[in-house]
Amino acid sequence: MEKYGSLMNLIDGMASDFLFIDGREIDVPTAGKLLNNLDELIKEANSQKVFQLKNVAGGLNSLLEKTILDDIDDKEASFNVLEKGIALMQEIGESFKNTNGYEGDIESFMESIVALTGDQLLEEVVEAYQEESQPAETIEEIQDDSLLRDFIVEGLEYIDEIEVNLLNLEQEPENLDCVNAIFRPFHSIKGVAGFLNLETVCDFAHILENLLDRIRNKELSVTSRLIDIILDGADALKALIIELKENMEGNPGEPLEIDLPALKKRIENVEQDVSDAVEVKRLGEILVEDGAITEENLEQGLEVAQELTPPKKIGESLISEGKVTPKQVSQALRKQTKQVADTAVIRVNIKKLDDLIDMVGELVITQAMIRQNSFILSNSDIRLSRDVSRLSSITSELQRTSTSLRMVPIKQTFQRTSRLIRDLSRDTGKQVGVVTEGEDTEIDRNMVEEIYNPLVHMVRNAVDHGIDSSEERIKAGKPEKGLIQLKAFHRGGNVVIEISDDGKGLDRDVILKKAVEKKLIDSSQDLSDQDIYKLIFLPGFSTAAKVTDISGRGVGMDVVKQAVVKLRGKIEIDSTINKGSTFSLGFPLTMAIIDGMIVRVGTERYIIPTTAIRQLLRPVKKSYNNIIGKGETINVMGNLLQLVRLYKIFDIEPEHKNPWDAIVVVVECENSSKTLMVDEILGEEEVVIKSLGESLKNSKGVSGGAIMGDGNVGLILDPEGLFELSEV
């Protein structure tokens, strides 16, 4: 049933996040993300009265909280229960969606969580099932107000203690007593916050505690930049505790101005952040490095310069003594100035940057409106025409510059993936090397994390399924060590990421046989190699002989495809038996702007992404066919492609109802191509994508909207969704 669609979206999102967990360890940030998802799921399940689902989600919530606090010794058992819980939630959600109820048993699963957590609230839920009575409608969080007040008072005292000891640590970077004096308050805040179910405070204190632990273990050196990061973290904790205090007193203040995700990112990338702090060398040091003077000359020059009244600058003193020439000092000063320029980096709040790009997008829309204004078009004033043209040029340049501010190199993503490959090769006992190329290729910052998840699963498959064992490789005449190559480059308006391996390659016969066994396709279908390869993206498809920690559960590649499609990307596969496979993932450079073909159907205008368009044509009458079992088709270069009448999907009156009078747009998706019938092609334009809002965000066939030059809204079409609608 459609009303349970939001529940299924939440559960499927959790299943996707869980799929991409590295190894079988749940770290604090990952657990925190899953906890947030579970909270949302519990609220939604409660509002829709799906109590079995709510109680399972509540049990998983308790399990994850205990995991964060290290109260569960058997991490393997915890991971297994979490895995079963997500599968059970999917089962319950599907049952309610199809039958408006669930007849299965959750008692044994809840008992397995109680056995791990010892949670008394969950025991009550289990007892309710054992008594065959209606399960409790809510799982209340019990907090003692007096404990909470004590925590607020002590927490603020702990922050004051931390600030004092941080200043001491900056004066004595090697003093481990100062480090321990800072570590202990963070640890205390984390422990009590966890007991009181204050997840955000607990999570953040744990991250800062880990940072201090790295300093204790000599993994990080104490610098002014590092002290700044810890002070910012302490300020964030203080703000969270003060917000908690105001809420308890019934005086909720303004929302937090601190960007916690950005601060967490700074802490996670602390080594890079600290290494960015390059100190500018002094003039005398540069002259010594250049060989213009010796260390002794420099010391003597400094003494002479200080003895003079008034004291001279070191450069002037060395010149007057004849130790260096003015040219040498000038060259050293230029080097020093260049260092200052190189280190003049300003840090900008991410939200401010996103707001800037949004406003530039509005500016682009406004200048398009001005350019297409009927008064401007009909005006013959040469100066006005020149000014409008100049405005368009400046706006385009501003748009390119602002978009580039959000671009980051893909190097860090490749480094994380390379580390994962090394860990997986050790786990599987295979020898696997990694080669990266194009690490400086830039991509939209907002897409980095979204792209990493598909990469994780694909390299897991490459190591587990693709790369053969050393014995098999030697027998096949290959090097004993396998190779996975990660490559990134720009092609047109897209960034392409390739994952290649020199392993077994995809076996089309095995894939075809498995697809027929699972009744995913009809064995009589005549499929090309590409069509067969893309069967691996179907839900539930797996050719693994056994399930491992790495892959083979029959989930994953369909989620990979969903993640890629969500980013308006495409996947292509090239594979040769015993030589290896290459998966090419193409993504737009940015999620904010799209190149689109503007088409008209009746009085409405739509935008089709140019990346999906293969061909435009006006078909002749004899190319049109209406075939039983296939419906309306158009013969395009010998291929019969299904005809999709957009006016029927959107229920509007068209100008043309005969395909040979209209224009046909050949559009391709992952697994097929179809033709869209439109009345007119209005042109190609770069448009700013606008969200359709919560109520329309899941509408099939439409991925967003764009404000056109005349101020009206044009819908951006989603070819994959249109294909699904045309088959209903």
Residue spans per domain, the chain = 2-130, 145-275, 283-343, 352-405, 408-588, 593-726
Residue 476: pLDDT over 80: yes
Output the 3-class SS for 444-460.
EHHHHHHHHHHHHHHHH
Q: Is there a contact between 270 and 226 (Cβ–Cβ < 8 Å)?
A: yes
**Measuring CA to CA, how many Å separate 108 from each of 61, 77, 96, 115?**
17, 15, 20, 11
Q: How many CB atoms lie within 10 A of CB 582?
A: 16
CA dist 532 and 577 (Å) reads: 14
Average pLDDT, the chain: 76
Classified as helix, coil or strand, 472 is: helix
**Two structure tokens written together for 221:** 């050196």
Q: Between helices 224-248 and 260-268, what is the axis angle to 10°?
A: 150
Q: Is there a contact between 705 and 692 (Cβ–Cβ < 8 Å)?
A: yes
CA dist 500 and 583 (Å) reads: 6
Question: How large is the average pLDDT for residues 16-43?
Answer: 68
- Residues 265-303 have pLDDT tens digits of 787 777 555 444 445 567 777 777 777 788 777 777 777
Query: By mean pLDDT, which of 27-41, 112-126, 363-377, 628-642 is the weakest?
Result: 112-126
Q: Is there a contact between 442 and 497 (Cβ–Cβ < 8 Å)?
A: no
Report the Cα–Cα distance between both ends of the chain, in Å, rounded. Answer: 16
> Residue 143's pLDDT band (boundaries 50, 70, 90)?
very low
Q: Which segments of 543-641 does DSSP mark as H helices, in order?
A: 557-566
- What would the DSSP string read from start to end of 107-141? HHHHHHHHHHH--HHHHHHHHHHHTTSPPPS--PP
The percent of residues above 90 in pLDDT, for the chain, comes to 3
Residue 1: pLDDT over 60: no
Fold match between domain 2-130 and domain 145-275? yes
Tell which residue, 93, 3, 87, has the closest CA to residue 41: 93
Question: How large is the average pLDDT for residues 27-34?
Answer: 66
CA dist 337 and 339 (Å) reads: 5
CA dist 256 and 658 (Å) reads: 59
Q: Which residue has the tokens 């990338």?
A: 269
For residue 702, list its beta bridge partners. Answer: 717
CA dist 400 and 393 (Å) reads: 11
> Residue 682's pLDDT band (boundaries 50, 70, 90)?
confident
Q: Which residues contact 81 (CB under 8 A, 6 or more apart)?
A: 63, 109, 112, 113, 116
CA dist 108 and 549 (Å) reads: 24
CA dist 74 and 91 (Å) reads: 26
Return the pLDDT at 133.
43
306 or 558: which leads in pLDDT: 558
CATH 3.90.480.20, domain 408-588, yes or no = no
Q: Which CATH architecture has domain 593-726?
A: Roll (2.30)
**Measuring CA to CA, how many Å separate 373 from each of 28, 275, 666?**
55, 52, 32
CA dist 621 and 639 (Å) reads: 16
Q: Could you tell me which CATH number the domain at 145-275 has?
A: 1.20.120.160
Residue 406: pLDDT over 60: yes
**Overall residue count recorded for the chain in this entry:** 728
The beta strand positions in 448-521, using DSSP E, are 482-491, 494-501
283 or 489: which leads in pLDDT: 489
Q: Is there a contact between 181 and 161 (Cβ–Cβ < 8 Å)?
A: yes
Tell which residue, 460, 374, 372, has the closest CA to residue 417: 460
Return the pLDDT at 677.
92
**Two structure tokens written together for 210:** 């880990």
Q: Which residue has the tokens 């069967």?
A: 535
Q: Which residues contact 605 (CB under 8 A, 6 or more apart)?
A: 598, 599, 682, 708, 712, 714
> Residue 115's pLDDT band (boundaries 50, 70, 90)?
confident
Return the pLDDT at 559.
78
Cα radius of gyration (the chain): 31
> Residue 493's pLDDT band (boundaries 50, 70, 90)?
low
1 or 547: which leads in pLDDT: 1
Q: Could you tell me which CATH number the domain at 2-130 has?
A: 1.20.120.160
CA dist 570 and 555 (Å) reads: 19
**Measuring CA to CA, how many Å separate 414 from each of 274, 428, 440, 453, 490?**
21, 21, 10, 12, 16
